[in-house]
Amino acid sequence: MTDASPPPAAAAWRVGASRKALAAALLAALIAGAVALALALRAGPHHPLAAARRAASQTASKRAGGEPASRHVPTHTASVAPASGPAVAAGRAKVPEVRDPEESSSYPAPASVHHAAAAAPSKAGEAIVAAGAPSDAEVRAELQQMQAAERSARQLQRQRLAAVPGGRSIGGGGTIPIPPNVPEVVQRVIAGANAIADFPYVFGGGHASFVDNAYDCSGSVSYALAAGGLLNAPETSGELESWGASGPGRYITVLANAGHTYMYVDGIMYNTAGRSGVYASRWQVSAADSAGFVVRHWPGL
- The CATH number covering residue 171 comes to 3.90.1720.10
Residue 133's pLDDT is 59
**In what side-by-side order are the strands of the sheet with 252-256?**
245-246, 294-297, 252-256, 261-265, 268-270, 283-284
The torsion region of residue 9 among left (phi > 0), alpha (psi -120 to 50) and beta comes to alpha
Query: Does residue 239 lie in a domain region?
Result: yes
Query: Does residue 145 lie in a domain region?
Result: yes
Residue 80's pLDDT is 41
Query: Does residue 40 lie in a domain region?
Result: no
| Structural domains in the chain (count) | 1
Query: Does residue 282 lie in a domain region?
Result: yes
d(CA 223, CA 124): 9
d(CA 238, CA 259): 7
d(CA 177, CA 86): 24
Residue 35's pLDDT is 56
End-to-end CA gap in the chain: 98
Q: Which domain holds residue 250?
A: 118-127+134-297
Query: Does residue 15 lie in a domain region?
Result: no
d(CA 291, CA 257): 10
Q: Find, among 263, 249, 225, the residue nearest to 298 by Cα.
A: 249
d(CA 64, CA 52): 18
Query: Does residue 246 lie in a domain region?
Result: yes
Q: Supply the DSSP symbol for 91.
A: T
> What distances in angstroms separate CA 226 from CA 66, 87, 100, one per listed residue?
47, 9, 21
Residue 96's pLDDT is 79
Ranges of residues in the chain with a pLDDT under 70 are 1-92, 127-135, 151-160
Strands (E), 177-277: 245-246, 252-256, 261-265, 268-270
Beta bridge partners of 55: none
- 98 Cα distance to chain centroid: 26
Residue 103's pLDDT is 84
Residue 126's pLDDT is 73
Residue 72's pLDDT is 41
Query: Does residue 240 lie in a domain region?
Result: yes
Query: Does residue 166 lie in a domain region?
Result: yes
